Structure 1
Amino acid sequence: MSEDKHFCPNCGHEIKPGADFCPNCGHKLNSNSQPQQSASASSNKTVNPTPRRVKKPMSKKSKISYSVLLLIILILVGGYLWGNHYYSKEATASRIVNSIKDGNKKQVADDSSTTDPSYKITPDNMSALIKYFGKNKYKFASFENQLSDDDDNTSSSSNSLSNFELKQDGNAFLVFPRYKLSITPVYGQIDTNGKKLKVNIDGNKSKLAIDDDSSSKSRSSDDYDSVTGNVGPLTPGSHKITVIGTVNGKETHSTSDVDWITGKNNTLSTTLDSGVASKEDAKSTLSSVFSDVGSSSISSDNFVGDDSNAFYNDIDKMNTGWRKDKSIDYFSEDSCKVISVAPGKGNETKVVFDVKYILNQENGDKKTQTMEYSVILVPSKDSDSRNKKYLIKNEFAKRKVVSTKTDTSNHHSDDSSSSSSDNNDDNNNNSDSNSSSSSDSNNSNNNNDDSSNN
């Protein structure tokens, strides 16, 4: 007699008697759900029920794989939509305009490019552009309209903003057409003077390339009377340019604000003035003083303190003394020669110079006296770079006589002329006497002839 077999009521799998769970499907076996027994002995066939197919749950690894794939798809779709918008011409134009308004130098630089290999785009370089549009609102409005205009002719030479053009600059990620603000840099010329010239543009040292063909040097020094220097490339916009140089031995500088927005022929003209007089300036001032020597009075217009100036009183005293000297017929200043000029304190100029005087004596001698002076010149209140005027300060090194020469040739010539005249008079008298004697002799002979004839 065969043993009874037990089967799971859920899946039909054979189970052992007394089992609490089905080993195949895990179904819990309880008193209400007893395992099915085999058929009674009246039936000799064994019943084998077909097991029901069970759907297995998704594994954790599969879930992760599907999630990653979905995320990648979302990123690609989102990235394409973002890139297509971000790199579009309209979005780039809007971004540039807003960056300039906000003063975002880095963003402006990121959205800009150039075709000039000598020009480098950096955030600091964009300051000039932002500064220019910040103070020229109407120009900025034109710039904004130009970027949003699809017409490719906006960069024509007649346009005052022709150095800017929004155009395609390759592709971003090999997919998106990338637009950038193409900037053509500007160049300029600086007309100035002096030597050892340097230039500082927007706080940065810049090279000043001297154009020797357009420059000329002073006759009395190696300073340039006029010099043309080239600068660039620069970002179109507002720049602060400081020219530094040495004038008459003293370093000085001049600062100017310029708006160079387009072109290669921008020009800045500036004059360096150290306050130190040149040799020409010194000679002009001193010559006007000593030209009065020999006149009734010396003008005090060129002296600090006018007639209370010590140097003025010294010259005036000398002039008065010579006028009272009865041995001097007349006198004058013959020449004024500047020996040297050198920077003093502040805007002072130390000047050493010679003055040659001619004193014509009553006896006909001509006396030449050369004196050396040292004075200090300072700019007058109404002096400027175009009309320089200097005054002699109220202090000086005492004058000293360098040389004295007396020319007596005129006096001797007069004596010789007088002697020659006297000799001529004697000769004339002798001639007259001889003529008279001859005449008397002739008359006597004539009388004798008459007597003889009688």
Structure 2
Amino acid sequence: MLNNCSNCGHENAKDSLFCESCGQKLVGEKTSKECHKCHHLNEEDALFCESCGCRLDEEIVEETSYCPYCHQINDSEAQFCEHCGQPLTINPEIEKQGIYDEPLNHVIPETVIETQEVTAPRKPMSKKKKISIAILGVIVIALGGTYAFLDKKYSKENQIEAIIVAIKDEDSEFIAKNIVSDDPSLSTTASDVKPMLKLFDDNKENVTNLKSALEANSEYLGLSLEQTGKTALFFPHYELKVTPVYTNVVSNMADSTIKMNGKKIIETDSDNYSKKIGPLLIGKYTFDASIKGKDETIKESYTLLPGDTTQVDMGFVTVTIPIRSNVEDATVLMDDKEVGKLTDGKLEVGPILWSGHASFQLVKKSKDGELKSEVKELNNEDVNRDGGTTNTIELNFQTADKYEVSEGLKSFYNRFEQSVVSSNNYNADDFAKAFYIDGSKNPAFKGINDYISWCRDRSASDEYSGVDFSIVVKSVEPMTNNRYKVNYTVTYHTTYPSKTNKSKRVEGFDYSNVVVQLEMNDKKDITDFKFVDMGDGGQKVSDNHANE
């Protein structure tokens, strides 16, 4: 016979205790046995109350061992429950208290069989509590991870590295925000920090030394690391501590204005002026001074460090500068401005206010062009500031002299000697390109080419043997840096075949105002020699055959 569920009507097996469809407890047709303690109706053949576990049949219980914890029947001689493993003998104290008579989930026996501690089964954890614990776990993990991240981010090593990177990158804004001093009057704006960054940029070794010092908790160039508070409540915050710098600025000129890094800081009121300035950050500073109503200025750079007693000297110096040259007359330029003319190759420039630097050059102008000397520089180390004297400045034109011009002329006349002999090759265009500006188009070339051709014809008919030349350069006048006006004498030594019965002919010619272009290398070796103009074309001054 089936056992129908009174809740959902599902047909269950005859001996089922709970509905297999909805879980509802099933009531069978058997007669019920009432518990004398809790009055719960149990199955007719039940020995223990299925609600409270109380014994329902004294006679049956006496013949068996009943477990007071899981309420299962064991053999009468058993010492421990074969179902749950708990002792079947109850501690007298527990039995006296009647704890074992309580429902199983409330039984928390202290001791069983003298010393054995028994823990009552725990209630299953609710879903809400599990979710709460899981959320709490996630929060703890997140907080732990965040702390570990921030601990690394705000570590002392990372903060030192951030300072060093900012110095290398010349990040004045970052340094200005992370700098501290015991002197409250020290200005530490981004602009104030720039001289310090320039000091490190000019010498990269300073950056390495500073990093090592900060890591070792020591000081370098007056800089050290100091903890100034906490970041995010837990992590130490470090800043760059600076020792301020003070210095004296002195001047020997009244009514002068002194600037530091382009900003006016002093106006002097005497010829013996001194003023202490500071506090300043360490660094490389530029000072310049000018005098009211005068063009002269001086500019000096100073590196200011803690404990340095060097004064910033912005005093003006009056100097006289001697100029000497290898030319007798030329215009002398100082800083591209004319300051005088040479007389017999000499000029004394000054006395002038020394500004710390000056450049000198000679210029010689003519209708043919402009000749310039090399530029010579004069700096502070060249000046005796106490005596107002300097070394002599030599300003010479890098020009050819008579020897170099003579060598250039010889190269021309040697080629000439070879070209007049008919047995030697001669190409007029090649000759012109080698020795005349504009080649064969140069008007001066035609006369020479005609003479060479006449000689070659006579040489071919055996009426002429050849010619050689001797040259004497009388004067060389530079016109530009590679062009010269030359006066020279050339002597022709012409020989004839013996059959002509003619003696050697010697003719002398004077050439005036000949313009040549001569190029030389650093060793003054001639690299190019050309005629620009043959001047007067040459005038015959002597001839041993004149009367023939």
Q: What range is the shorter-chain TM-score in?
A: 0.3 to 0.5
Q: Hey, which of these two has a bigger chunk of helix by percent? A: 1
Q: What TM-score, normalized to structure 1?
A: 0.42
Q: Which protein has greater RCO, CA pairs closer than 8 Å, 6+ apart?
A: 1
Q: TM-score, normalised by structure 2?
A: 0.36
